[in-house]
Structures are given as C-alpha cells and as structure tokens.
C-alpha cells in the first residue's frame, strides 16, 4: 500500500504542468475573456483565475528582475500552495493574498447602481502611498493567524489592490518586519510593480518597488 501511495504521488508530480510566465498570461486571457469584471472579482467560482493572474504577473516580474522561471498552477485542491515557481535553484511553493483599503470589500467597485452603471472608484494615490504599508502588513498578519503547518516552507505573495504609486519600500519592509520569519519569503505585486520584502539567496530578491511594465 505504501508503495502504491508513493507511486501515485510520483505520478501526480509528473502530471503538473509548468508554463513560462508569458504562456500562463495567455492562458489566463483565454480563460477570462468571457468573464465580466464583476464576476471575476466577486464570484468564488473564479478564485482560481485570480490566483492564475497573480501567478502570471509575479512570474513576469521575477523573470524580468531575477531570472528565468516556470510557473505551475495545476495543484491539488487541498494544497496550501496556490502556485509553484520553478527556477534554476528549485521549486518554490507560493500562496497568494490580497491587501485592500480597509473599509472596502472585494468587489465593491463592481456593484452597479440601480441604473446598471458602475460607481467611480475613488482615486486616492496619496492615501495608498502613506497607508499602504500598513494595509499590506494587515494582509500578511491575516495569513500568519491562520497558522498553516507548512508556513515555514511557503512563500507569500501579496497583491496590493489599491493605487500604490510611490509607496516607500523601506516603509513596506518595516511594516512586515515582525512577520518576516513566518514564511519562507514575502513578496508584493501591484498592478504595475513587484518587490520582495523578505527573501533568501536561493529564490533571489527584488529590492525596491520595480516597474513591471504593461
């Protein structure tokens, strides 16, 4: 029985499909093309699509600033990982989470008015720049409090879902300093940027919020 279980595990590992980040971005675009922005954000059905978008954006940034990589999102449902990044140094499991404006619920921007129009989203770049590091820290804290048994080998990717231009990198590092040993590494992506807040030599690092481009 033990041999059978081991063989099954090995077979599942071989079935995992790794993609170049650009390939994964194309797969995401194909899957998401018929999904409305409202459904993409609000419906739990599309959780996997959101994770795929985060993984693809992260992979593109990693490839640009650290080195070549492949990404796998085809993981078991009960896995603590949302995706795996493969580099020359090995495989690194990642979990994703979202940092948002405290009073805003995910999808609020996509709740239409009675006439069907979407409300304008407040543009508050200064608020994001000043308060953003604490919002990121709150998202990391939320993950720490879940007490995953695999946390020490998990890498955490935080998507900053707010206007994050000119966020101070040192303020971000300071805000999450107390949690830096809770995960193998901590990274951030915004709509346009990427950086690492705590990362080791094997995975590499991106110091400073670097521009991902379009």
Domain that holds residue 113: 16-211
What mean pLDDT comes out for the span 164-185?
92
SS (H, E, C) 39-58: HHHHCHHHHHHHHHHHHHHH
Q: Is the pLDDT of residue 82 over 60?
A: yes
Higher pLDDT, 13 or 97: 97
Q: Is residue 111 part of a domain?
A: yes
Measured CA to CA, the distance from residue 170 to residue 207 in angstroms comes to 10
Instruction: Give residue 14's pLDDT.
Output: 45
Q: Is the pLDDT of residue 4 over 60?
A: no
The pTM of this model reads 0.82
What's 171's domain CATH number? 3.40.1540
Max Cα distance, the chain (Å): 62
Q: Is residue 2 part of a domain?
A: no
Q: Is residue 132 part of a domain?
A: yes
Q: Is the pLDDT of residue 2 over 70?
A: no
Instruction: Give residue 75's pLDDT.
Output: 77
Q: How many domains does the chain have?
A: 1
Measured CA to CA, the distance from residue 9 to residue 81 in angstroms comes to 16
What mean pLDDT comes out for the span 85-97?
96
pLDDT in tens, 8-62: 444 444 457 999 999 999 999 999 988 877 677 667 677 888 999 999 999 999 9
């Amino acid at each position: 029985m033990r041999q059978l279980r081991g063989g099954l595990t090995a077979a599942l590992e071989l079935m995992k499909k790794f993609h170049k980040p650009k390939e994964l971005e194309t797969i995401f675009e194909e899957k998401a093309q018929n999904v409305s922005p409202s459904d993409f954000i609000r419906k739990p059905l599309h959780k996997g699509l959101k994770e795929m978008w985060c993984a693809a954006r992260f992979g593109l940034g990693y490839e640009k600033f650290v080195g070549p990589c492949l990404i796998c999102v085809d993981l078991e449902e009960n896995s603590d990982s949302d995706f795996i990044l493969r580099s020359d140094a090995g495989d690194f499991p990642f979990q994703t989470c979202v940092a948002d404006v405290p009073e805003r619920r995910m999808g609020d921007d996509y709740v239409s008015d009675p006439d069907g129009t979407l409300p304008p989203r407040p543009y508050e770049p200064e608020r994001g720049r000043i308060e953003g590091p604490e919002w990121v820290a709150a998202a990391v804290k939320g993950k720490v409090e879940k007490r995953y048994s695999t946390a020490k080998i998990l890498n955490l990717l935080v998507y900053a879902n707010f206007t994050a231009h000119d966020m101070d990198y040192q303020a971000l590092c300071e805000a999450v300093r107390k949690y830096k040993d809770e995960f193998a590494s901590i990274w951030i992506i915004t709509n346009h940027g990427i950086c690492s807040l705590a990362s080791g030599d094997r995975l590499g690092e991106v110091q400073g919020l670097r521009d991902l481009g379009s």
